Structure 1
Amino acid sequence: MSVVLACLDADSLGGVQQVTHTIAQGLAGRGHEVHVIGLHRSPAPFRYVDRPLYHHHVISRRPLDSTGRLARGRADGKLRRLLEGIRPGYAVMTSPSAVARMAGLLPPAFRPIGQYHGSYDHARDTWHLASIRKHYPSLDQAIFLSEDDAWRFSEHALLPNAWSLPNPLSTWPEETSPLDSPRVLGVGRLEGVKRFDRLISAFARSDAPPPWELHLIGDGGELARLREHAAGEGVGDRVIFRGRVPAARMPAEYLAASVLGLTSEHEGLPVVLLESAAHGVPSVAFDVSGGVRSAGPVPVPSGDVAAFAGALGRLVRSAGERRRLGAAARTRAAAFRLDHVLDGWESMFAHIDR
């Protein structure tokens, strides 16, 4: 069969893109014809797979925010021609925007599937929920990241076609962290929604003594403000901004960490929680979705920096607690191994065909 995975932008650094390329490589490795389609060019492409087994297409060479009506029409024509040249199968549109853009352009031979990588709570607080209510019920399947979120969309958005499929781990590490390095890790884009200012504040208030450091991996527009915030919290010399790290080097970062912190305003099922858990690294996270809870971090009420600092401090001070929670996290992470998740995708395709 053929599987098309379409994103507004398939190549920027982000969770949707990482999961898309991981699923594409996995399904292609099982013998399926797979196409990853980016509707727009990424202004800063990131390479997720060194030797892709799937086909990769970019429809518009213009970034998302620079496309006029005429260019949009030409891009839609190019997309139609591309899809008509792919044998019949499944078209997975990875966001509400992709569904709204593509659903009317699909040839009849494609079974339309809509993904949503956020939580129900996030959708409810944005335009996403209205778009999902409008466009997703007519699709063959609507995919969410946890059973909790799938149920909530089914009940509150009146979706008759809700299904849950978690994000996968791209690999399963054989080595785990010894959890003896004085390092807390944060991973993600340095943008407002990730709220690394809260992670910096929690680290400063956790009573983590020197030589403990907070290492932040990622880049973005908040770098200068976060540096200033770290200095204001009195930990400017112990918050290390690492910039981008290639995907191939991330396992070494997890092995060198003892705790991971996640302070985002909203998340669906962040891969960083799964990757840290697979390396035996315990995590503390704001409890913002069923997907976050399914990954098994120490949950903290959303936005409660004092509670986050307390949970982080307990892990910093107790190697025994780190090892206990790290072992439990790795056991839980086994459910997100790529083969298990790919089995779920193939089961969903079979369900659609019935």
Structure 2
Amino acid sequence: MTIVFACLEADTLGGVQQVTHTLAQGLAGRGHDVHVIGLYQAASPFHYVDSPLYEEHVISRTAVDRQGRLARCHADRRLARLLGSVQPGFAVMTSPSVVTRLARLLPDSLRTIGQYHGSYEHARDCWHLGSIRKHYPALDQAVFLSRDDAWMFSEHALLPNAWAVPNPLATWPQETATLETPRVLGVGRLEGVKRFDRLITAFARSGVPRPWELHLIGEGGELERLRVHAAEEGVADRVVIKGRVAAARMPGEYLAASIVAVTSEHEGLPIVLLEAAAHGVPAVAFDVSGGVRSAGPVLVPAGDVDAFARELARLAESQQERRRLGAAARARAGRFRLDRVLDEWEALFTHISR
């Protein structure tokens, strides 16, 4: 069958994009005709798959916030021609912004699926919930990252078509971490929503002694502010900011960690939690969504930095507890293996086609 994934930017560095390319490669590997469409080109394109089995398209080379009305009309015509040229199948729109842009351009030959990669809590606190309420009921299916979130949208946004499919793991590691290296790991864009400032504060307040370090992987506009914050917290010499790390090197980062930490303001189902679990690394996370809960980290009330610090200290003090939690996390992560998630997507396509 034909499957089209559409993103605002399909080539930027982010969880939505990583999941999209992972699913596209997996479904194409099963013989489907798969297309990934980016409505705009990212300012700094990121390459996810070395030898893609699917077709990639960029509609506009203009940045998302710089396109005028005339250019957008031309882009819409190019997009409509592309969508009309593919065989009948399914269009998976990866965000509310994409749904509002594409819904009117899609041919009748493509059944419509609207994804939401955030949580109900986040949608409720911004414009997303209003857009989902307005546009998603008319789609063939609305897909969320956890059963908790699907239920919340069904109950509180009155969606009659809510469904849950989790994010997948791109690979399943054979090697697991020894959990002996004195290292806490944080992974994500260095932007405000990830709240790495809270993680640095929690690390400082935990009282975890040397030689424990906090390693941060990612790049973004908060880099210098985080360095200053680490100095103010007295841990500048124990916070290592590594910048962007190639996907091929990330398994080594997980294997060298003993704790993974997620302190985001909001999350859907962060890939970092799934990858940490697959490598047998226990995680501590703020309880901000059904997706986070489904990944099975040690949960801390959202925003409670002192409680987060206490959990970091508890895990740092006990290798036995780290190993117990790491083994449980890896066992739980099996449900996010790529083949299983692809099975769920194909079951969804069959459900819609009936």
* Range class of TM-score, shorter chain: over 0.9
Counterpart for residue 319 of structure 1:
319
1:4 partner letter: V
User: For residues 28 and 179 of structure 1, what CA distance do their matches in structure 2 show?
Assistant: 36
**Displacement of 1:84 after TM fit?**
1.2
Report % sequence identity. Answer: 73
Letter in 1 for 2:176: T
In structure 1, the partner of 2:351 is 351
Q: Report how far residue 47 of structure 1 moved.
A: 0.9
Structure 2 portions without partners, runs of 5+: none
**Deviation digits for residues 118-168 of structure 1 (CA, Å, limit 9, x no counterpart):** 000000000000000000000000000000000000011110000000000
Q: Does 1:87 align with 2:87?
A: yes
Answering whether residue 284 of structure 2 is matched by residue 284 of structure 1, we say yes
CA distance in 2, matches of 1:310, 1:158: 39
How far residue 208 of structure 1 moved from its aligned partner, in angstroms, is 1.0
In structure 1, the partner of 2:117 is 117
Residues 1:144 and 2:148 are matched in the alignment:
no
Q: How far off its partner does 1:257 sit? A: 0.4
Whole-Å separation in 1 of the counterparts to 2:53 and 2:302: 40
2:307 is matched with which residue?
Answer: 307
Shift of 1:179: 0.3
State the secondary structure of the residue aligned to 1:35: strand
1:299-346 C-alpha deviation (Å, 9 max, x unpaired): 000000000000011001100000000000000000000000000000
Q: Equivalents in 1 of 2:206, 2:52: separation in Å?
A: 43
Q: RMSD of aligned C-alpha atoms?
A: 0.4
- After TM superposition, the structure 1 = structure 2 runs for residues 167-182 of structure 1, keeping only pairs within 5 Å, are 167-182=167-182
Residue ranges of structure 1 left out of the alignment (5+ in a row)? none
1:96 maps to amino acid: P
Matched with 1:65 is: 65
Q: Tell me by how many angstroms 1:254 deviates.
A: 0.3
Give the whole-Å Cα distance in 2 for the aligned partners of 1:83 and 1:265. 36
Q: Letter of the aligned partner of 2:141 in structure 1?
A: Q
1:136 alignment partner, SS class? helix
One-letter identity of the residue aligned with 1:42: A
Q: Which residue of 1 aligns with 2:201?
A: 201
Q: Paired residue for 2:264?
A: 264
Give the counterpart letter for 1:22 in structure 2: T
Local SS of the residue matching 1:91: strand
Q: Per the alignment, in what secondary structure is the counterpart of residue 302 of structure 1?
A: coil
Deviations 1:57-82 (A, max 9, x none): 00000010101100100000000111
For 1:162 and 1:248, the matched residues in 2 are separated by 35
* CA offset digits 1:76-101 (Å, max 9, x no partner): 00001111111111000000000000
- AA aligned to 1:295 is A
Cα distance in structure 1, aligned partners of 2:9 and 2:86? 20
Separation of aligned partners in 2, 1:278 and 1:207: 28
Shift of 1:186: 0.2
TM-score (norm 1): 1.00
Deviation track 1:27-47 (CA, whole Å, cap 9, x = no partner) reads 000000000000000001111
Q: Which amino acid aligns with 1:319?
A: Q
Rounded to whole Å, the distance in 2 between the matches of 1:235 and 1:214 is: 9
Which position in structure 2 is the counterpart of 1:273? 273
**1:26-41 correspondence to structure 2 within 5 Å:** 26-41=26-41
Question: In structure 2, how many angstroms separate the alpha carbons of the residues matched to 1:107 and 1:155?
Answer: 30
> 1:110-259 to 2 correspondence within 5 Å?
110-259=110-259
- How far apart, CA to CA, are the structure 1 residues paired with 2:177 and 2:186? 16
Runs (4 or more) in structure 1 with deviation over 4 Å come to none
SS in 1 for 2:329: helix
- Residue 290 of structure 2 aligns with an amino acid whose one-letter code is G
CA distance in 1, matches of 2:94, 2:349: 16
Q: Partners in 1 of 2:119 and 2:153 — Cα distance?
A: 9
The aligned amino acid for 1:40 is Y
Secondary structure in structure 2 of the residue aligned to 1:45: coil
Q: TM-score, normalised by structure 2?
A: 1.00
Q: Which amino acid aligns with 2:318?
A: S
Letter in 2 for 1:305: V
2: CA distance between counterparts of 1:74 and 1:246?
35
Secondary structure of the equivalent of 1:285?
strand
For 2:57 and 2:108, locate their aligned partners in 1 and report how far apart those are by CA, in whole Å: 21
